[in-house]
Amino acid sequence: NAGVTQTPKFRVLKTGQSMTLLCAQDMNHEYMYWYRQDPGMGLRLIHYSVGEGTTAKGEVPDGYNVSRLKKQNFLLGLESAAPSQTSVYFCASRDPGLGRQFFGPGTRLTVL
Amino acid sequence: GENVEQHPSTLSVQEGDSAVIKCTYSDSASNYFPWYKQELGKRPQLIIDIRSNVGEKKDQRIAVTLNKTAKHFSLHITETQPEDSAVYFCAASKSTSGTYKYIFGTGTRLKVLA
C-alpha cells in the first residue's frame, strides 16, 4: 500500500495564478482532510470530506475549494493564489476502525 | 471555539532524561487524543493515542496520561535519545453528527542534547 500520497511536492506560484493539489489514498477511507501548516501555528483544517461527493469547510476555508469526485482522491484548489497562502499543505485520511489519521508527505507551496 | 493549548513550545533535555509535554483542550465532548511526531521536512507520524475511557497508555518509552476532569493530557518520553529530537503535536477529536474533526496544538520542539 502506498498509503496517502500528494502531488506535487513543491510548487512556486505568482500572485493570482491558480493550481490544484492532488491527494490520493489507497486504504478505502471515507474521511479525508486538507490542512495547512504554518510556523508556530500547528495544523489548521482547511476543508474535509466524509465521503465521495461530499465536502465541508474547516477552520480556514477562504481562498480554497475542494472536490471529492472519487473516494480515493481529494483535490484542493487555489483559484487566485495570494502570498498569505504560502504554506505546507498536508492531506490526511482517517481509519474508521481506530479513528487514526494518516498523513501524506506534504506539498510546500510558495506564492510570490 | 474549540481550542487545544500545548506547552512548552520548546523543550531541551539531556540524553537519558525524561521529557513531558502538556496539552489542555476546551471541548469536554472530545474523546480521542493522538500525539504526532514530526521530523524536519517530514509528515506528522502518529506515535501514541488515547481514548477518553482510558486514563493512561504506555508504549515502550512513550506514555500518555489523560485527566478528563481537568481536560488535559500529557506525553511522557523516558530515557530520551537524540533521535527523539523533533516537533511533537497533540490533538483532540470528537464526533459531531457522525463527523470527525481534529484540533491540533501548536507543537513542541524537543531537543535532546547528547
- Alpha-carbon gap, residue A59 to B16, rounded angstroms: 39
pLDDT range class, residue A104, cuts 50, 70, 90: very high
E strand intervals along chain A: 4-7, 10-13, 19-25, 32-37, 43-49, 56-57, 65-67, 73-78, 87-94, 101-103, 107-111
Q: Which of B101, B98, B97 is nearest to B30 (CA)?
A: B101
C-alpha cell recorded at residue A30: 471515507
The verdict on a CB contact (< 8 Å) between B43 and A58 is no
Nearest CA-CA distance, residue A43 and chain B, Å: 6
pLDDT range class, residue B35, cuts 50, 70, 90: very high
pLDDT range class, residue B54, cuts 50, 70, 90: confident
Closest residue in chain B to residue A96, using alpha carbons only: B100
Among B45, B102, B108, B109, the residue to mutate for chain A (most A Cβ within 10 A): B102
Among A38, A101, A108, the residue to mutate for chain B (most B Cβ within 10 A): A101
Cβ count near A52 (within 10 Å): 14
Residue B1 DSSP symbol:
-
